[in-house]
Amino acid sequence: MTDAFRNRIDLELTVNGEAVELTVPAGRHLIDLLRLDLGLTGSHAGCEHGVCGACTVLVDGAPVRGCLTLAPQLGGADVWTIEGLTDRGLVADLQAAFVARNALQCGYCTPGMLVAAKALIDAGGTPSRAEIREHMSGNYCRCTGYEAIVDAVETVARDRAEGAMS
């Protein structure tokens, strides 16, 4: 083997608007980087193989699976988690609607749900319930039965569309 392959990788990236420099093991995924290296425990790891969506975060503006995003690939990336999105008020209306509709119980899935919903809402328009379901189909919730989540997302999409018109 050559020394071209490294076991530990030096990384510079931006997390929630702040520059971060750290060294990670080569097999580190983004959720462990966030939770273990940076102490940002809002993003959750459920299945760690891409199925549940609890780990959904934004990388360069697009939702990705944190558990399937290998940290060494993130040099220069711009990462946003539920902590940063909350601080900047970027999901405030979604959060309020989730509370109002009881769209969470244990809350394990919620940070991922909010990031996935944000992508749909930010795309504009008023998606139908079927479109909301299809879009959110990659995020599992073991508590709520989904109906309330669809309600909350639908409410915010409508409110934003009305706000944009008035």
Partner 1 sequence: MKAQVGGYARAEDMAHAIRLLADAEGMGRVLAGGQSLVAALNMGLSFGDLLVDITGLSDLRGVREEDDRLVIGALMRHADVATDPLIARHVPLLAQAAPLIAHEAIRNRGTIGGSLAHADPAAEFPACAVALDAVIRLTGPDGEREVAATDFFRDVFETEMREGEILTGIVVPKTQAGERHVIREAARRAGDYAIAGLAVVIRGGAHRIAAFGTGPTPLLCTVAMERLDAGDVDGAVSALSDALDPPSDTQGSAAYRRHLAGVLLHRIATELGEDV
User: Which residues are at the interface with ligand FAD (CB under 6 A)?
Assistant: 50-51
Nearer to partner 1, 133 or 160 (CB): 133
DSSP string, 11-61: EEEEETTEEEEEEEETT-BHHHIIIIIS--TTS--SSSSSSS-TTEEEETT
Residue 68 as a binder of partner 1 (CB under 8 A): the answer is yes
Dig out the tokens for 62 from the structure. Answer: 């697009």
Q: Which of ligand FES, ligand FAD, partner 1, none interacts with 118 (beta carbon under 5 to 8 A by kind)?
A: none
Residue 107 as a binder of ligand FES (CB under 6 A): the answer is yes
C-alpha separations of 91 from 10, 48, 69, 118 in Å:
32, 25, 23, 7
Query: Taking Cα atoms as reference points, which of 73, 98, 89 lies closest to residue 152?
Result: 98
State the residues that interact with ligand FES by CB under 6 A: 45-48, 50-55, 65, 67, 104-110, 141-144
State the residues that interact with partner 1 by CB under 8 A: 1-2, 4-7, 9, 26-29, 32, 48-50, 53, 56, 59, 62-65, 67-70, 72-73, 75, 116, 119, 133-135, 137-139
